[in-house]
Amino acid sequence: MTKEPLTANIGSHFKKPSKFNNKKINVMTDKNNEVNLRPTIITDLDTLFRFQLDKEGGYLAAFMPNDPTDKAAYLDKYTMLLSNPTVNNQTILVGKKIVGSISKFVMEGDTEITYWIDREFWGQGIATKALKIFLSIENTRPIYGRVAFDNFGSQKVLERCGFVKIGSDKGFANARQAEIEEFIYKLND
């Protein structure tokens, strides 16, 4: 049985680490499962880049960059987005190990979330824990999540965190080289 990746509207949205480089970083923690969040820093990007190279994860995330193997383009884009004050990007840790990322960003006036969990950690409840922690520190509402129609794992994560499916849309998914349906979820509270 294959586990579904826990991703929603994968995009390239990170917050600049420079203001954290010389300061102690507050880490948000869920003590029960040792899932932690901390602001993403530039040195996290190499690890996060490797995660998005996973073909199965990319397929289920669907909405990927044109060339997900272009590391220079990835680092340039994400480094630039790290300085965007409208983005709240957190790195997901289990213990001290980076296992994914989660972010809030604004697109076309709507606040949206995106997350990615390394495939090695799928099916362990990490995305749900991370999203619950994230929603406790990111108070913007409403907040939306978009997920490929066949990414059942991510749909469950959103629903477990109180998101309600409110519609669907179609878009070109680079990872599939086809137009696919994506479900739109919304959290009001």
Q: What is the pLDDT of residues 76-130, one digit of tens each?
A: 988 988 999 999 999 999 999 999 999 999 999 999 999 999 999 999 999 999 9
Residue 31: per-residue pLDDT: 54
Predicted confidence band of residue 42 (pLDDT cuts 50, 70, 90):
very high
Residue 25, pLDDT > 90, answer no
Q: What is the largest CA-CA distance in the chain?
A: 45
Residue 184: per-residue pLDDT: 97
What distance in Å separates the CA atoms of residue 148 and residue 13, rounded to the nearest whole number?
Answer: 18
Residue 10, pLDDT > 50, answer no
Kindly report the pTM of this predicted structure. 0.80
Residue 15, pLDDT > 70, answer no
pLDDT > 90: what percent of the chain?
A: 65
Residues 6+ apart with CB under 8 A from 2: 56
Residue 32: per-residue pLDDT: 54
Query: Which residues are bridge partners to 167 per DSSP?
Result: 184
Predicted confidence band of residue 22 (pLDDT cuts 50, 70, 90):
very low
Question: Is the peptide bond prior to 142 cis by the omega test (within 30 degrees of 0)?
Answer: yes
Give all domains of the chain, ordered by start, each with its CATH number.
Answer: 28-187 (3.40.630.30)
Predicted confidence band of residue 33 (pLDDT cuts 50, 70, 90):
low
